[in-house]
Amino acid sequence: MLGLIQKIQRRTPLGWLQLTRHKGRFIVALSGIAFADILMFMQLGFQSSLYDSNTSLNREVLADIVLISSQAKNTQNLSTFPRNRLLEASDVLGVKAAEPMYIGMVSWRNPQTRKKVQIQAIGFNPEIPALNIPEANAQLDKIQLPDRFLFDKAARGEYDQVFAQVEAGEEVSTEIGRRTITVNGLFKFGASFAADGLLLSSDDNFLRLFPSQKASSVNVGLIYLKPGYDPLQVVNQLKAHLPDDVKVLTNKEFVQFELDVLTKESPIAFVFGFGVAMGFLIGVIIVYQILSTDVNSHLKEYATFKAMGYGNNYLLGIIFEEAIIIAAIGFIPGFFIPLGLYAVAATATSLPIYMTVERAITVFILTVILCGISGAIATQKLQSADPADMF
């Protein structure tokens, strides 16, 4: 091992010397890698925010088991199933309670700007917390009053005056459809790609907003278990006990249900994935052009090395050394610039866009791979070069 280290230390860094000799070309290569990394980071960041924001509601459900219609497509299009299924579920051993939850998209008029925006409304029994939102759960008594709602203070849009009024103890009224509702409490949750925010209330208040939906038609069934019962065993019992018009899911399966729709059927997810592929391809092309130009401009020198007895592997090592240097140095601005862009995008969209260690490692590995591919392509001419033809 010591001998290998000493050998590396004695080795002349030809790759580095060749890159830095043509500083303009080197800067172009680094800029190309940085651009490709920024593009991949942004696409992956938006893709991750899509997954995080659109599954946030699923993750915060407090029930041990969830029932949804077999026709449900996602949480924005859940369809309905008969409320009798909850009564039937209550007969299964281990079930403590089975409560309905109603979910729907509403167009409400922003009390501050008077513009109409899409909000996701949720109604449930206020006597039993349905979501893991402590700030909202502490105010459930407020939504037992007619037409009273809790509003998401992390919603996308201009609501500063509304928040100030509610936090001062005042009530704020606005319109949904032809009905006037009152906001008398706030909580923090966040926007998604589908909705600008969340509106919580009792199931009775929800049904007043949706007169066409009957109380007997439920969007989500919340199954709470008695202590000591295994959710997986109860799920199997419920599947055997209930008709096929409902799906019986654990908490994790309910989240995965939404993720599967996003990853397999959502065109937005495909667009972000395509953007990552395009960033990767752009990086390959730019680095290939730089390395290919470098090989061509030093072809006689490489031929001289061959004539001196150096093999192809040694010469290829120089090109791959250049590729790794470009990848490593170009990744630095390609990593730090997206940090600022993430902050700007998160502020502008109210979406959860942030850097993760896993994403940074993934993009770095992709950067090394794309530079390696570029180097492999650029060395094709070098391998076929004959010293006799060069002089």
Write the CA distances from 107 to 76, 163, 176, 277, integer angstroms.
13, 19, 6, 36
pLDDT at residue 2 greater than cutoff 70: no
Q: What is the pLDDT of residue 38?
A: 94
**Which segments within 41-177 are labelled E, that is strand?**
65-69, 81-82, 95-109, 116-124, 148-152, 172-176
What is the spatial distance between Cα 370 and Cα 280, in angstroms, rounded to a whole number? 7
What is the spatial distance between Cα 299 and Cα 306, in angstroms, rounded to a whole number? 11
Q: Other CB atoms closer than 10 Å to residue 214's CB: what's the count?
A: 12
DSSP-derived 3-state class of residue 157 = coil
204-209 average pLDDT score: 93
- Which residues, listed in sequence order, are joined to residue 247 by a DSSP beta bridge? 68
Query: Where does the pLDDT of residue 264 fall: very low under 50, low under 70, confident under 90, or very high at 90 and above?
Result: confident
Distance separating the N- and C-terminal Cα atoms of the chain = 40
- Which residues, listed in sequence order, are joined to residue 327 by a DSSP beta bridge? none
What is the spatial distance between Cα 172 and Cα 149, in angstroms, rounded to a whole number? 10
Give 124: exposed, middle or buried? Use CB within 10 Å, 0-12, 13-18, 19+.
buried
pLDDT single digits (tens) 59-109: 999 999 999 999 988 888 888 999 999 999 999 999 999 999 999 998 888
Give 87: exposed, middle or buried? Use CB within 10 Å, 0-12, 13-18, 19+.
exposed
pLDDT single digits (tens) 24-39: 778 888 888 999 999 9
Residue found under tokens 């600022």: 340
Query: Where does the pLDDT of residue 1 fall: very low under 50, low under 70, confident under 90, or very high at 90 and above?
Result: very low
pLDDT at residue 289 greater than cutoff 90: no
222-237 average pLDDT score: 94
pLDDT at residue 261 greater than cutoff 60: yes
Q: What percent of the chain has pLDDT over 90?
A: 53
Query: Where does the pLDDT of residue 271 fall: very low under 50, low under 70, confident under 90, or very high at 90 and above?
Result: confident
What is the spatial distance between Cα 177 and Cα 212, in angstroms, rounded to a whole number? 13
Q: What is the pLDDT of residue 12?
A: 60
Q: What is the pLDDT of residue 194?
A: 83
121-138 average pLDDT score: 94
Query: Where does the pLDDT of residue 311 fall: very low under 50, low under 70, confident under 90, or very high at 90 and above?
Result: low
H-type helices in the chain, by residue range?
A: 2-10, 14-21, 23-59, 84-90, 134-137, 160-167, 203-209, 231-241, 251-264, 267-297, 299-307, 312-349, 357-378, 380-384, 387-390
pLDDT at residue 303 greater than cutoff 50: yes
pLDDT at residue 315 greater than cutoff 70: no
Residue scoring higher pLDDT (20 or 330)? 330
Cα torsion 141, 143, 149, 151 to 10°: value is 30
* Contact predicate 47/193, CB 8 Å: no
Is the entire prediction scored with pTM above 0.85?
no
Taking all residues of the chain, what is their mean pLDDT, rounded to a whole number? 86
Buried b (16+ CB within 10 A) or exposed e, 297-313: ebeeebbebbeeeeeee
Residue scoring higher pLDDT (299 or 361)? 361
| HSE-CB for 212 with a 13 A CA cutoff | 3
pLDDT at residue 313 greater than cutoff 70: no
pLDDT single digits (tens) 347-360: 888 889 999 999 99
pLDDT at residue 273 greater than cutoff 70: yes
365-384 average pLDDT score: 81
Q: What percent of the chain has pLDDT over 70?
A: 87
pLDDT at residue 385 greater than cutoff 80: no
* Contact predicate 222/98, CB 8 Å: yes
Q: What is the pLDDT of residue 234?
A: 95
Q: What is the pLDDT of residue 373?
A: 87
Residue scoring higher pLDDT (146 or 375)? 146
Q: What is the pLDDT of residue 301?
A: 65
DSSP-derived 3-state class of residue 366 = helix
pLDDT at residue 8 greater than cutoff 50: no
- Poorest-confidence range of 208-217, 345-354, 374-383? 374-383
Q: Which of 26-30, 175-179, 185-189 has the highest mean pLDDT?
A: 185-189
Q: What is the pLDDT of residue 25?
A: 78
203-230 average pLDDT score: 92
